[in-house]
Amino acid sequence: MMQFRDLKKQYSILKAEMDAAVLEAMASGAYIMGPQVKELEAKLAGYVGVKHCLTCANGTDALTLALKAWGIGPGDAVFVPDFTFFSSAEVIALEGATPVFVDVCEDTFNIDAADLEKAVLQVREEGKLKPRVVIAVDLFGLPANYPAIREVADKYGLLVLEDGAQGFGGGIEGRRACSFGDISTTSFFPAKPLGCYGDGGAVFTDNDEWAALIESYRVHGKGAFKYDNVRIGLNSRLDTVQAAVLLVKLKAFREYELDAVNKVAALYSELFCHSERSEESVATPVIPEGFGSSWAQYTIRLRDRQQRDAVQAVLKAAGIPAMVYYPKPMHLQTAFKPVLPSEAKDLCPVATSLCERVLSLPMHPYMTEEEIVTVAEAVLNSVQ
């Protein structure tokens, strides 16, 4: 059976280097904050092009650390796309602030800057919450439209938090993802573009003051030293073993994996676009001019829920795993019911419709041409 993201194949290729790196970390005895953690942080900051990189326990904590550094809490409105993984919005409520869901663009899946402005104006008019932050998500590997988001953010005094959990490796006009926010974050969950062998995450910023606060928050709000605690924080560090894993994977990512996923995506799109059969029903991912994706997912749009579910079933029967990211928009999540007005069920029509029509196909740097063709043909044969 074909793999959706073949991490075992990746391991088999990196095995010699990976085993040596992990064994070295285990033999060293420096399991927490070992030298590999600092080395990784320096390499990640250099790759992304920001001054500070602080690793942490996972991508959700990375977002939480950013909100804590900014003192976001009760009475604050934080704008977030309605079409994303739960974490992006969860962290807002966890800090006691109020998530405000914003619709996304049909073609890029990312937050719609025009709808963001509408949502900010509505919050201001209601006068109950203070607009503070927009969390823009680089969904499926494509950076959000930061030039447009920045314009709205500047106009209304919002801080920009880039959720680059899926975006690491993408870019806009030569600038890399995880450098677009006032603070940016990523995740090293195994299936992300750059993943470790467990949980991990990182925060990026050019701002010295926020970096110092995050450094404190990630180790129990430490002050001058670990047992001097000046604020309530988290225990959110990246393990030395995971840093060792990531150093090996970052090298492969830079040298060939990012190119490889772009080739997979290009072949998929060519097969779908050149097929006469697909014209009406298979919409391929759109990468705007000047943008680059890290292809966390290759996500097609079908006509409606019925067709999407049928295609997924046909693929499954053929031994091809295809996933629905995401089946439910944020504003319909049960957990957010208490924080939403009752008329909220009609919010964000684009996100709601995408949840019914999207399907993510197998995507990873080690896919063979034969596998890509097999998937594309199975999709094309099933959309009739």
Ligand X SMILES: *Cc1c(COP(=O)(O)O)cnc(C)c1O
Task: Give the chain as a 3 state SS string.
Answer: CCCCCCHHHHHHHHHHHHHHHHHHHHHHCCCECCHHHHHHHHHHHHHHCCCEEEEECCHHHHHHHHHHHCCCCCCEEEEEECCCCCHHHHHHHHCCCEEEEECECCCCCCECHHHHHHHHHHHHHHCCCEEEEEEEECHHHCCCCHHHHHHHHHHHCCEEEEECCCCCCCEECCEECCCCCCEEEEECCCCCCCCCCCCCEEEEECCHHHHHHHHHHCECCECCCCCCECCCCCECCCEHHHHHHHHHHHHHHHHHHHHHHHHHHHHHHHHHHCCHHHCCCCECCCCCCCEECCCCCEEEECCCHHHHHHHHHHHHHCCCCCECCCCCCHHHCHHHHHHCCHHHHHCCHHHHHHHHHEEEECCCCCCCHHHHHHHHHHHHHHCC
Structure tokens at 190: 């195994």
- Choose the binding region for ligand X from 55-63, 154-162, 169-177, 265-273 (rule: CB under 6 A): 55-63
- Choose the binding region for ligand X from 81-89, 141-149, 229-237, 243-251 (rule: CB under 6 A): 81-89
Shortest gap between Cβ of 205 and ligand X (angstroms)? 17
- Choose the binding region for ligand X from 46-54, 82-90, 312-320, 340-348 (rule: CB under 6 A): 82-90
Q: Interface residues for ligand X in 181-220 (CB under 6 A)?
A: 187, 189, 199, 201
Number of residues that bind ligand X (CB under 6 A): 15
Q: What is the pattern of x (binds ligand X, CB under 6 A) and - over residues 86-125?
A: -xx-------------------------------------
d(CA 26, CA 21): 9
Shortest gap between Cβ of 5 and ligand X (angstroms)? 13
- Asked if 165 touches ligand X (CB under 6 A), the answer is yes
Shortest gap between Cβ of 137 and ligand X (angstroms)? 5
Shortest gap between Cβ of 55 and ligand X (angstroms)? 12
- Asked if 58 touches ligand X (CB under 6 A), the answer is yes
- Choose the binding region for ligand X from 21-29, 85-93, 313-321, 366-374 (rule: CB under 6 A): 85-93
Shortest gap between Cβ of 138 and ligand X (angstroms)? 8
CA dihedral (27, 32, 37, 38) positive or negative:
negative
Shortest gap between Cβ of 222 and ligand X (angstroms)? 22
Binding residue (CB under 6 A) for ligand X from 59, 131, 171, 181: 59
Are residues 245 and 347 in contact, defined by beta-carbon separation less than 8 angstroms?
no
Sorted by sequence, the CB contacts under 8 Å of residue 251 that are 6+ apart come out as none
Is 279 exposed, middle or buried, given 0-12, 13-18 or 19+ CB atoms closer than 10 A? exposed
Shortest gap between Cβ of 27 and ligand X (angstroms)? 27
How far does Cα 304 stand from its chain's mean position?
25
Q: Interface residues for ligand X in 126-155 (CB under 6 A)?
A: 137
Shortest gap between Cβ of 114 and ligand X (angstroms)? 22
Shortest gap between Cβ of 225 and ligand X (angstroms)? 28
- Choose the binding region for ligand X from 80-88, 118-126, 145-153, 206-214 (rule: CB under 6 A): 80-88
Binding residue (CB under 6 A) for ligand X from 60, 205, 269, 281: 60
In the complex, residue closest to ligand X by CB: 59
- Choose the binding region for ligand X from 57-65, 114-122, 206-214, 238-246 (rule: CB under 6 A): 57-65
- Choose the binding region for ligand X from 29-37, 52-60, 113-121, 362-370 (rule: CB under 6 A): 52-60
Q: Which is nearer to ligand X, 239 or 378 (CB)?
A: 239
Shortest gap between Cβ of 161 and ligand X (angstroms)? 11
Chain residues in the site for ligand X (CB under 6 A)? 58-60, 84-85, 87-88, 137, 163, 165-166, 187, 189, 199, 201
